[in-house]
């Protein structure tokens, strides 16, 4: 079964790649039992897939590059997910599933009704989310590693709306417009934002602020979804509407 390894762009030259991360080294040499002469595939997290041959294991793993190609999935619109912080490890699941669905970036945020700190000190949880995203990228055979930004306020995220072609915010009081219909507002959208609220939902003031900035409210259906479910379901609907691979 095909399985990708990961080598960041700064460790790739025209003809060679060097695996310096200890986890990746262990996975290749011990878990997969690769040895010099074996064929390997790896990605750089920026949309490129590489075919190569393992040259050596020690003192570091070196791979001779035989071919490289752009992953067709990177031709899809870039979708950013902005989920509110959740209790315990539930945002870990959102990061994992969003990566599998092909999101380009994740902007964790605090909103008025956020009641969780997000699971540990800020630096530690950011490292954890990035590790989860890396594992999910490889497992789902994607070549683009989503950018995961430090936690920001909702106001700061709303302040970036003008940099998107289309910006959506899920709201339980929106009765008609679904993510698929909203995506049709701009068929040529290349950069899209989807914002998901906390368990208590967004306040009326937050919705007003988002709309004033140009965001479009969307409904995720009649069912009352938990925030982590809403993030995954909303993103799946949006990606399908944008015809993302």
Residues 125 and 163 in one domain: yes
Alpha-carbon gap, residue 195 to 31, rounded angstroms? 38
Alpha-carbon gap, residue 27 to 62, rounded angstroms? 14
Given 70, 95, 121, which residue is the final one in a domain? 70
Measured torsion, CA atoms of residues 245, 242, 145, 17, in degrees rounded to the nearest 10: 50
Residues 204 and 226 in one domain: yes
Q: Which has the minimum average pLDDT: 136-145, 156-165, 179-188?
A: 179-188
Query: CATH code at 30?
Result: 2.40.240.20
According to DSSP, the residues that pair with 152 across neighbouring strands are: 109
Residues 60 and 104 in one domain: no
In terms of residue numbers, what domain contains 53? 5-70
CA-wise closest residue to 207 among 181, 164, 174? 174
Alpha-carbon gap, residue 146 to 130, rounded angstroms? 8
Structure tokens that stand for 155 in this block? 């106001």
pLDDT digits (tens, 9 = 90+) for 194-224: 999 998 899 999 999 999 999 999 988 777 7
pLDDT digits (tens, 9 = 90+) for 6-15: 999 999 998 9
Residues 138 and 203 in one domain: yes
CA-wise closest residue to 148 among 107, 89, 184? 107
Average pLDDT of 155-172?
Answer: 94
pLDDT digits (tens, 9 = 90+) for 32-90: 888 999 999 999 999 999 999 999 988 889 999 999 999 877 677 899 999 999 887 89
Residues 111 and 13 in one domain: no
Beta strands in the chain (DSSP E): 5-6, 16-19, 39-43, 48-56, 61-70, 78-83, 105-106, 109-110, 147-148, 152-153, 166-170, 191-196, 216-218
* Count: domains in the chain: 2
Burial of residue 47 (CB within 10 Å: 0-12, 13-18, 19+) is middle
Given 70, 100, 126, which residue is the final one in a domain? 70
């Amino acid at each position: 079964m095909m399985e990708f390894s990961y080598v960041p762009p700064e460790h790739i030259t025209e003809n060679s790649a060097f695996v310096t991360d200890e986890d990746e080294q262990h996975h290749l040499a011990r878990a997969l039992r690769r040895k010099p002469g074996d064929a390997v595939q790896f990605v750089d997290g920026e949309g490129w897939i590489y075919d190569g041959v393992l040259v050596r294991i020690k003192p570091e793993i070196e791979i001779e590059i035989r071919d490289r190609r752009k992953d067709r999935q990177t031709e899809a619109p870039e979708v950013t997910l902005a989920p509110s912080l959740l209790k315990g490890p539930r945002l870990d699941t959102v990061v994992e599933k969003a990566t599998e669905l092909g999101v380009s970036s994740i902007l964790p945020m605090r909103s008025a009704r956020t009641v969780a700190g997000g699971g540990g000190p800020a630096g530690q949880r950011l490292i954890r989310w990035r590790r989860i995203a890396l594992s999910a990228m490889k497992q789902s055979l994607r070549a683009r590693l989503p950018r995961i930004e430090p936690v920001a306020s909702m106001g700061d995220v709303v302040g970036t709306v003008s940099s998107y072609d289309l910006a959506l915010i899920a709201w339980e009081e929106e009765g008609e417009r679904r993510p698929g219909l909203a995506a049709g507002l701009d068929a040529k959208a290349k950069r899209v934002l989807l914002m998901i609220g906390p368990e208590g939902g967004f306040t009326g003031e937050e919705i007003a602020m988002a709309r004033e900035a140009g965001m479009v409210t969307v409904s995720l259906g009649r069912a009352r979804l938990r925030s982590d479910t809403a993030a995954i379901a909303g993103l799946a609907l949006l990606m399908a509407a944008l015809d993302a691979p």
